[in-house]
Structures are given as structure tokens and as C-alpha cells.
A and B are shown apart, each in its own frame.
Chain A
Amino acid sequence: MRAALAFREVSVAVPNGRQSLHNVSLDVEQGTVTAILGRSGSGKTTLLRTANRMVEPSSGSVFVAGAPDTDVVSLRRKMGYVIQETGLFPHLTVERNIGIILEAEGRPKLQRANRVRELLQLVGLDPEIFAKRFPHQLSGGQRQRAGLARALAAEPPILLMDEPFGALDPLTRAEMQDMLRELLRRVDVTVLLVTHDLDEALYLAEHIALLSEGKLIAYVARDDFLRSKEPEIVSYVHAFHRGESETRRGADSA
């Protein structure tokens, strides 16, 4: 296994003396999707943000294959970044939003325009309709597609996604998950996906890491997650599927 990203005993201290991450070690295999699960405040986002050094570990280190660890700007350009609110720049058209890193790298205009068209098609947005629109003229799902296109623009080997579909309604969310799954078949990229949605993790990821109070509780292959006897995993799975078992019980008693 080749690790695209390797976290080594990463700890992050927060000002009040507590630690938001505690000795987390994790190898993310190249070309796979790893979901980071955990309840709110468990350190999921902090772990993700140590990868692109938006958060500096207080101890331990993060190795990124093929990236120099000195220059933070070039490190970040090797990592696409998608967040819940997309973070599209409201003053730029979809086209310029998607091409902003290419623009920052000084790529010629025509090359940028072609790449943006290609990316819009990849995420299922018609370039003729959407290239010149502004973010406020898009629906939540369309914005998320544009955000994903921006993250992939410079062909980064790693994609960091922080609850990318968390703010969408269930139907749009399912559509986006399908689109992402299909897209990941075509693009060679290693994905680290923070989510608190177990179904999303099971649907998209090959590996699942479960964090609790800043500690890595489990890091297992998707299929082993549901079979695990690890108490934290069992209670997480149980909490998530409560609704389902309730419905089943209702159907059985009817």
C-alpha cells in the first residue's frame, strides 16, 4: 500500500489546555476514499485541516506524498478543498471561481477556459448555461458542483472534503453522492471525506476512520465497520440506524 497521506501521532492542542486531537496516526492509501466519522467536536475537521496545514499540529506530523513540506502554498495547491458552504467567491463568475487557482498559477486564458468547460461537464453543469453565472444565481446543489469543480481544477492528487453535502436536502444530497461516486471512478485522486453521515461514508468510502474526543477509535475497511464489535462503532451504528429499526419494528407488529 502506498500512502498518499500519512498522519503520524498528530496532536493538536487548543488554548484552554485540552487537546482537540490526541496522537492520531493514520495512513491514507493512494487513490482511495477515506471517510472520517465522529460526533460534533470529535476532531474530524481539525484532522482534515492538519493535512493542508490550516491547522498546525502541536506535535506529530503529516506527510504528503510528493509534496515539499516547507512551502505551504504549493502544498495547498496539491489538495483540492471542498467545504459545506462551498466558499465560492461571490464576486466572481462560476468560470472564474473554478479557474482561480489556474489563474493564480499564471496559466494562459485559453487553457483555463478549456479546463473550466471540461470540469463543468465533469460535475454535470452545462458550461453554456453556468460558466457566466454568479454563485448567488445557483441552487445549493449547483454551488456544490461548482465548488467540487474548483477543487479539482489544478488536478490535485488529494481532495479534502469537509461535510461537503451537509447543508443539502436529502434528495439533492443523494444526487451529489451519486455524481461524486461516478466522478471518482474517472479521476485519480485520494479523498479524505469528513462526514457525520454513516450512510454517506458507507456509500462513498473504502475506509472509515472513527474519531471520538480527539482520539482515533477505529480505522477499518468499509465492510468491516458494520461487523465490528468495537463498542464505540456499535453505538455509532446503532444511533444511526435507530430510525430504520423503529420502522421495521412497527412493520413487524402491524
Chain B
Amino acid sequence: MSAPFLSQYGGEIATLTLEHLWLTAAAMLSAVIIAIPAGVWLTRSPRWARPVIGIANVLQTIPSLAMFGFLLPLPWLGERAARIAIIALTAYALLPILRNTYAGIRGIDPTLIEVAQAIGLTNRQRLFKVELPLAASFIFAGLRTATVTCIGIATIAAAVGAGGLGELIFRGVASVDNRLVLAGAVPAALLALIADAALGLLERRFKVPALESGRV
């Protein structure tokens, strides 16, 4: 990419990158607020696990362009494109976080859960002092998958006018200007790589060392 190109589009790339980040961060935050408590609840009522994870699974399979299209005519959502983008991205982020929270807690050695109860921790203390920390690495892995997916899908949000780096890609495609396509695609890919590395770091940081017997 040449210097004149960058001086012409540099500012816009920076603004759109920030917009892209904001869309993804807002969606991830809503997904975390919904999916972690829901995942915890499913561990308490496992008979709901199949249907609820099933619904999240179905959401995941809706093509992103179609999802943005479905949300467009809705009254409050349709007014602001960013709202549509955040709701749609949240829907995509739910499954990995929900599934990993559920599986992470269910996968804890039952002896430890039993000990937590037997020594007199309340349900709340058991959750915050034992279950969530032990499942943290798993939950971060889910968050990592969700974030990387969302950064990718957020480029399509430009189709409904929500902004973000997709805007450069769409413009580049329409005007057959590969430089513009790259100006959107490269920062989006970099964002994804950085998020992947940072969350991967957290995932490893919270990994619980196993005892020699192989049990955690």
C-alpha cells in the first residue's frame, strides 16, 4: 500500500478500526453477560442443557448476511444499524461461551465439588471460589473462539450500514479496488490475531495444573 493511499485513507482506517472494535466489544460484553450466567444455570438444571445449547447452535448456523437482514425491519433495532450489528454479533458469540461455561463446570472433578459442599461453602462461594476459577481456562477458550468469530462477522455489518472495517471491503469490492479491500481486511485480520493471542494467553494463565494422578 503506497504512502499517498495511506495518507488519504489512514484516518478513515483508524476510525473504522475503532468502530469495528466497539461493535465487537459491545457484542462480546452482552454475550458474556448472557452466556456465562446461562451456562452456570444449565449446570444446575442440566435437563435444559440440550434444548438451550441447541437454540444457540441454531443461531450460529444462520448466515450472517441473512441475520442482519432479518433484524433490519424490527422497530427499535432498525433505527440504528449499530444496534442490529451488536444484537447479531451477540447471537453468534453466545454458543461458544455458553457451551464452554457449561462443559467447563461439568468437567470439574466431582470430588472437588463434593468437598466444596462438605466443608461448608455456600452455593455462591462454591461457584465463585471453586467452579468458575476451575472452569476459567475453558471459559476463556470459548471467549476466544467467540471474539475471533465476531471480529470476522463484524465486517459484514457494514452491509446494513453499521460501519466498521467491512465498509472499506464493501467499497473496495464495489469499485474493484483491491487496495480498499485490503485496507479493510488486513486490520480486521490483525485485530483477530491480536484478540486470539491475548485471550489465548489468559486461557493458559488460568489452566489448572493436574496432580500426578492425572486428576484435577
Mark contacts of B101-117 with chain A using CB atoms, 8 A cut-off: 1 yes-contact digit, 0 otherwise: 00000000001101111
What residues of B have a CB within 8 angstroms of the CB of A143 in the complex?
211
A134 contacts across to B, CB distance below 8 A:
209
CB distance from A99 to the nearest CB of B (A): 11
Q: Which of A80-88, A107-115, A119-127, A244-252 contacts B (4 or more CB under 8 A)?
A: A80-88
B133 CB–A CB distance under 8 Å? yes
User: B121 in the interface, Cβ–Cβ < 8 Å?
Assistant: yes
The total of interchain contacts (Cβ-Cβ below 8 angstroms) comes to 66
Q: Which residues of B contact A74 (CB under 8 A)?
A: 120
Query: Once bound together, how far apart are the Cα atoms of A101 and B130, in whole Å?
Result: 12
**A18 interface hit (Cβ, 8 Å):** no
Pick from A77, A87, A91, A103: contact of B111, CB under 8 Å: A87
B211 surroundings in chain A (CB, below 8 A): 90, 135-136, 143
Q: Is B1 an interface residue (CB 8 A)?
A: no
The reply to whether the CB of A54 lies closer than 8 angstroms to some CB of chain B is yes
- CB nearest neighbor in B for A103: B129
Contact between A83 and B134 (Cβ–Cβ < 8 Å)?
no
B120 adjacent to A136 (CB under 8 Å): no
In the assembled complex, how far is the CB of residue A112 from the closest CB belonging to chain B, in whole angstroms?
Answer: 14
Chain B minimum-CB-distance residue to A150? B119
- Chain A residues with Cβ below 8 Å from B118 are 52, 54, 76, 81
Residues in A with CB closer than 8 Å to B193 are none
B125 lies within 8 A of chain A by Cβ? yes
Q: How large is the interface on A (under 10, 10 to 19, 20 to 34, 35 or more residues)?
A: 20 to 34
A and B contact pairs by CB, cutoff 8 A, 22 listed? A54-B117, A76-B118, A77-B120, A79-B120, A81-B115, A81-B118, A81-B119, A87-B111, A87-B112, A87-B114, A89-B116, A89-B129, A90-B134, A90-B209, A100-B121, A103-B129, A104-B121, A104-B122, A135-B211, A136-B211, A143-B211, A150-B119
**B residues adjacent to A (C-beta < 8 A):** 111-112, 114-122, 125, 129-130, 133-134, 208-213, 215-216
**Contact residue among A54, A76, A89, A150 (Cβ-Cβ distance under 8 Å from B112):** A89
Partner of B208 from the list A91, A101, A104 (CB cut-off 8 Å) is: A91
Q: Decide: A100 and B134 in contact? CB cutoff 8 A.
A: no
The 5 A-B pairs of least Cβ separation, nearest first, read: A87-B115, A76-B120, A77-B120, A136-B209, A81-B118
With A83-B115, A87-B111, A87-B115 as known contacts, state yes or no: A101 contacts B120, CB within 8 Å: yes
Given known contacts A81-B115, A83-B111, A100-B129, A90 and B210 CB-to-CB distance under 8 angstroms? yes
B residues near A171, Cβ cutoff 8 Å: none
Contacts of B115 in A (CB 8 A): 81, 83, 87, 89
Contact B129 A136 (CB under 8 A): no
Min CB–CB distance B104 → chain A (angstroms): 12
A135 — nearest CB in chain B belongs to which residue? B211
Per-position binary interface string of chain A over residues 53-86, scored 1 when its CB falls under 8 Å from any chain B CB and 0 otherwise: 0100000000000000000011111011101010
Most buried by B among A76, A104, A143: A104
A143 to B215, CA, bound (A): 14
Cβ 8 A contact of B212, one of A77, A83, A101, A136: A136
Given contacts A54-B117, A54-B118, A90-B209, contact A85 B134 (CB under 8 A): no
